[in-house]
Amino acid sequence: QLPVGGFGTYEDLFTGYEAESGIKVDPDHVKYWEVFGSFWWAIGCLGMAEHYRSGPDQSVERPAIGRRTSECQVDCVNLLIPGPVDLLAPASALALDMPSQPELIQSVRDYLRDDAMQNLQGRSQFLARVAGNSLDMVLRELALGGQHQAMETQRLRRYYDATAPLGDLRARLSEDLRTGKVPLSDETIQQHLRATVVNQIAIDQPNYSGFKRALAGGSLDF
Protein backbone atom coordinates (compact mmCIF):
# COMPACT_ATOMS: atom_id res chain seq x y z
CA GLN A 1 0.00 0.00 0.00
CA LEU A 2 1.30 3.44 -0.93
CA PRO A 3 2.18 5.66 2.06
CA VAL A 4 0.19 8.80 1.19
CA GLY A 5 -3.49 8.08 1.71
CA GLY A 6 -3.00 4.61 0.26
CA PHE A 7 -2.80 6.00 -3.27
CA GLY A 8 0.32 8.15 -3.58
CA THR A 9 4.02 8.43 -2.88
CA TYR A 10 5.88 10.97 -0.77
CA GLU A 11 7.64 12.18 -3.90
CA ASP A 12 4.31 12.96 -5.59
CA LEU A 13 2.98 14.67 -2.46
CA PHE A 14 6.07 16.82 -2.00
CA THR A 15 6.24 17.73 -5.70
CA GLY A 16 2.59 18.77 -5.78
CA TYR A 17 2.83 20.72 -2.52
CA GLU A 18 5.93 22.58 -3.64
CA ALA A 19 4.39 23.38 -7.03
CA GLU A 20 1.27 24.88 -5.43
CA SER A 21 2.84 26.60 -2.41
CA GLY A 22 6.30 27.52 -3.60
CA ILE A 23 7.62 26.17 -0.29
CA LYS A 24 10.31 23.49 -0.20
CA VAL A 25 9.26 20.45 1.81
CA ASP A 26 11.62 19.24 4.53
CA PRO A 27 11.15 15.43 4.76
CA ASP A 28 12.38 15.46 8.37
CA HIS A 29 9.57 17.85 9.31
CA VAL A 30 7.04 15.58 7.61
CA LYS A 31 8.39 12.58 9.52
CA TYR A 32 8.20 14.50 12.80
CA TRP A 33 4.53 15.34 12.28
CA GLU A 34 3.71 11.79 11.23
CA VAL A 35 5.22 10.49 14.46
CA PHE A 36 3.45 13.21 16.44
CA GLY A 37 0.11 12.44 14.77
CA SER A 38 0.45 8.73 15.51
CA PHE A 39 1.36 9.45 19.13
CA TRP A 40 -1.58 11.87 19.46
CA TRP A 41 -4.03 9.27 18.16
CA ALA A 42 -2.56 6.65 20.51
CA ILE A 43 -3.38 8.92 23.46
CA GLY A 44 -6.88 9.42 22.04
CA CYS A 45 -7.41 5.66 21.79
CA LEU A 46 -6.31 5.17 25.40
CA GLY A 47 -8.74 7.92 26.38
CA MET A 48 -11.55 5.94 24.74
CA ALA A 49 -10.60 2.93 26.85
CA GLU A 50 -10.70 5.09 29.97
CA HIS A 51 -14.17 6.31 29.00
CA TYR A 52 -15.28 2.69 29.05
CA ARG A 53 -13.62 1.92 32.37
CA SER A 54 -14.83 4.94 34.29
CA GLY A 55 -17.64 6.41 32.19
CA PRO A 56 -19.35 8.34 30.75
CA ASP A 57 -19.52 6.07 27.65
CA GLN A 58 -19.46 2.34 28.28
CA SER A 59 -20.53 1.17 24.85
CA VAL A 60 -18.92 -1.86 23.19
CA GLU A 61 -17.18 0.53 20.81
CA ARG A 62 -14.91 2.21 23.37
CA PRO A 63 -12.67 -0.71 24.43
CA ALA A 64 -12.39 -1.77 20.79
CA ILE A 65 -11.05 1.68 19.91
CA GLY A 66 -8.76 1.50 22.93
CA ARG A 67 -7.02 -1.50 21.40
CA ARG A 68 -6.32 0.51 18.25
CA THR A 69 -3.45 2.19 20.07
CA SER A 70 -1.31 -0.67 18.73
CA GLU A 71 -1.91 0.70 15.21
CA CYS A 72 -0.26 3.95 16.29
CA GLN A 73 2.59 2.04 17.88
CA VAL A 74 3.37 0.08 14.74
CA ASP A 75 3.25 3.27 12.67
CA CYS A 76 5.86 4.79 15.00
CA VAL A 77 7.99 1.64 14.79
CA ASN A 78 7.88 1.82 10.99
CA LEU A 79 8.87 5.49 11.04
CA LEU A 80 11.55 5.39 13.74
CA ILE A 81 13.05 1.90 14.00
CA PRO A 82 12.15 -0.15 10.90
CA GLY A 83 13.71 -3.56 10.53
CA PRO A 84 13.11 -7.30 10.48
CA VAL A 85 10.76 -8.94 12.96
CA ASP A 86 9.63 -12.50 13.69
CA LEU A 87 5.99 -13.35 14.27
CA LEU A 88 4.92 -15.82 16.93
CA ALA A 89 3.04 -18.92 15.81
CA PRO A 90 -0.28 -19.76 17.49
CA ALA A 91 -0.06 -22.38 20.20
CA SER A 92 -1.61 -25.76 19.43
CA ALA A 93 -5.12 -26.10 20.84
CA LEU A 94 -5.90 -28.98 23.18
CA ALA A 95 -8.49 -31.45 21.96
CA LEU A 96 -11.41 -31.44 24.42
CA ASP A 97 -14.67 -33.36 24.52
CA MET A 98 -16.52 -30.25 25.67
CA PRO A 99 -16.51 -27.10 23.53
CA SER A 100 -13.37 -25.06 24.15
CA GLN A 101 -13.14 -21.38 25.00
CA PRO A 102 -12.36 -20.46 21.39
CA GLU A 103 -15.31 -22.49 20.13
CA LEU A 104 -17.70 -20.81 22.56
CA ILE A 105 -16.43 -17.36 21.61
CA GLN A 106 -16.56 -18.18 17.91
CA SER A 107 -20.17 -19.33 18.23
CA VAL A 108 -21.15 -15.99 19.81
CA ARG A 109 -19.21 -14.07 17.15
CA ASP A 110 -20.91 -16.00 14.36
CA TYR A 111 -24.32 -15.40 15.93
CA LEU A 112 -23.66 -11.66 16.00
CA ARG A 113 -22.59 -11.61 12.36
CA ASP A 114 -24.89 -14.18 10.82
CA ASP A 115 -28.06 -13.61 12.84
CA ALA A 116 -28.12 -10.50 14.99
CA MET A 117 -26.73 -8.13 12.38
CA GLN A 118 -29.31 -9.27 9.85
CA ASN A 119 -32.10 -8.17 12.19
CA LEU A 120 -30.60 -4.91 13.37
CA GLN A 121 -30.29 -1.51 11.75
CA GLY A 122 -28.30 1.67 12.12
CA ARG A 123 -26.08 2.04 15.15
CA SER A 124 -27.22 -1.23 16.72
CA GLN A 125 -26.08 -3.10 13.62
CA PHE A 126 -22.78 -1.21 13.68
CA LEU A 127 -22.19 -2.06 17.35
CA ALA A 128 -22.94 -5.73 16.65
CA ARG A 129 -20.21 -5.64 14.00
CA VAL A 130 -17.82 -4.02 16.49
CA ALA A 131 -18.68 -6.71 19.04
CA GLY A 132 -17.91 -9.43 16.50
CA ASN A 133 -14.57 -7.81 15.70
CA SER A 134 -13.75 -7.63 19.41
CA LEU A 135 -14.42 -11.35 19.74
CA ASP A 136 -12.05 -11.98 16.83
CA MET A 137 -9.46 -10.08 18.84
CA VAL A 138 -10.15 -12.23 21.90
CA LEU A 139 -9.70 -15.38 19.82
CA ARG A 140 -6.33 -14.17 18.55
CA GLU A 141 -5.29 -13.20 22.06
CA LEU A 142 -6.18 -16.66 23.35
CA ALA A 143 -4.00 -18.15 20.62
CA LEU A 144 -1.06 -15.73 20.86
CA GLY A 145 -1.34 -13.48 23.91
CA GLY A 146 0.20 -15.71 26.57
CA GLN A 147 3.21 -16.56 24.44
CA HIS A 148 3.56 -12.91 23.38
CA GLN A 149 3.70 -11.63 26.97
CA ALA A 150 6.03 -14.43 28.04
CA MET A 151 8.50 -13.55 25.29
CA GLU A 152 8.27 -9.83 26.08
CA THR A 153 8.96 -10.58 29.75
CA GLN A 154 11.87 -12.84 28.87
CA ARG A 155 13.50 -10.21 26.65
CA LEU A 156 13.23 -7.47 29.27
CA ARG A 157 14.43 -9.67 32.11
CA ARG A 158 17.45 -10.65 30.05
CA TYR A 159 18.16 -7.04 29.12
CA TYR A 160 17.91 -5.75 32.69
CA ASP A 161 19.19 -8.93 34.36
CA ALA A 162 16.15 -8.71 36.63
CA THR A 163 13.20 -10.88 37.65
CA ALA A 164 10.61 -8.13 38.08
CA PRO A 165 7.06 -8.57 36.70
CA LEU A 166 6.29 -7.37 33.18
CA GLY A 167 4.47 -4.21 34.26
CA ASP A 168 7.45 -3.03 36.28
CA LEU A 169 9.86 -3.83 33.46
CA ARG A 170 7.75 -1.92 30.94
CA ALA A 171 7.67 1.09 33.26
CA ARG A 172 11.43 0.91 33.76
CA LEU A 173 12.11 0.78 30.03
CA SER A 174 9.71 3.66 29.36
CA GLU A 175 11.43 5.81 31.96
CA ASP A 176 14.89 4.89 30.69
CA LEU A 177 13.92 5.79 27.12
CA ARG A 178 12.33 9.04 28.27
CA THR A 179 15.42 10.15 30.20
CA GLY A 180 17.89 8.90 27.60
CA LYS A 181 19.45 6.36 29.94
CA VAL A 182 18.62 3.82 27.25
CA PRO A 183 19.01 5.33 23.77
CA LEU A 184 16.54 4.44 21.04
CA SER A 185 19.58 3.61 18.91
CA ASP A 186 20.25 0.56 21.14
CA GLU A 187 19.82 -2.31 18.68
CA THR A 188 18.68 -4.76 21.36
CA ILE A 189 15.92 -2.37 22.40
CA GLN A 190 14.96 -1.72 18.79
CA GLN A 191 14.55 -5.44 18.22
CA HIS A 192 12.56 -5.76 21.44
CA LEU A 193 10.22 -2.89 20.56
CA ARG A 194 9.65 -4.18 17.05
CA ALA A 195 8.88 -7.69 18.31
CA THR A 196 6.58 -6.38 21.04
CA VAL A 197 4.64 -3.94 18.89
CA VAL A 198 4.35 -6.03 15.72
CA ASN A 199 3.20 -9.14 17.57
CA GLN A 200 0.64 -7.04 19.45
CA ILE A 201 -0.84 -5.62 16.24
CA ALA A 202 -0.99 -9.19 14.93
CA ILE A 203 -3.47 -9.78 17.75
CA ASP A 204 -5.33 -6.48 17.58
CA GLN A 205 -5.57 -5.57 13.89
CA PRO A 206 -3.83 -8.02 11.52
CA ASN A 207 -5.43 -6.33 8.50
CA TYR A 208 -3.92 -2.95 9.35
CA SER A 209 -1.68 -1.62 6.58
CA GLY A 210 1.08 -0.68 9.04
CA PHE A 211 1.30 -4.31 10.17
CA LYS A 212 1.86 -5.46 6.62
CA ARG A 213 4.45 -2.73 6.14
CA ALA A 214 6.24 -3.82 9.31
CA LEU A 215 6.45 -7.40 8.04
CA ALA A 216 8.07 -6.05 4.88
CA GLY A 217 10.76 -4.29 6.91
CA GLY A 218 8.81 -1.20 7.87
CA SER A 219 10.93 1.41 6.11
CA LEU A 220 9.16 4.41 4.59
CA ASP A 221 11.00 6.19 1.80
CA PHE A 222 10.88 9.98 2.08
Q: Secondary structure of 180-214 in the HEC alphabet?
A: CCCCCCCHHHHHHHHHHHHHHHHHHCCCCHHHHHH
**How far apart are the C-alpha atoms of 208 and 212, rounded to whole Å?**
7
pLDDT tens-digit series, residues 93-104:
777 789 999 999
pLDDT for 79 beyond 70 = yes
CA count, 13 A, side-chain hemisphere, 105: 16
Domain coordinates in residue numbering, the chain: 10-215
Give residue 3's pLDDT band: very low, low, confident or very high (50, 70, 90).
Answer: confident
Judging by beta carbons within 10 Å of its beta carbon (0-12, 13-18, 19+), is residue 92 exposed, middle or buried? exposed
**pLDDT in the model for residue 96:** 75
pLDDT for 65 beyond 90 = yes
More confident residue, 218 or 202: 202
Number of H helices and E strands in the chain, helices first, is 9, 0
pLDDT for 202 beyond 70 = yes
**How far apart are the C-alpha atoms of 115 and 171, rounded to whole Å?**
44
Q: Which amino acid is at 52?
A: Y
**pLDDT in the model for residue 220:** 63
**pLDDT in the model for residue 222:** 62
pLDDT tens-digit series, residues 12-61:
999 999 999 999 999 999 999 999 999 999 999 999 999 999 988 889 99
pLDDT for 211 beyond 70 = yes
pLDDT tens-digit series, residues 92-136:
777 778 999 999 999 999 999 999 999 999 999 999 999 999 999
Bond from prior residue into 165 cis (ω within 30 degrees of 0) = no
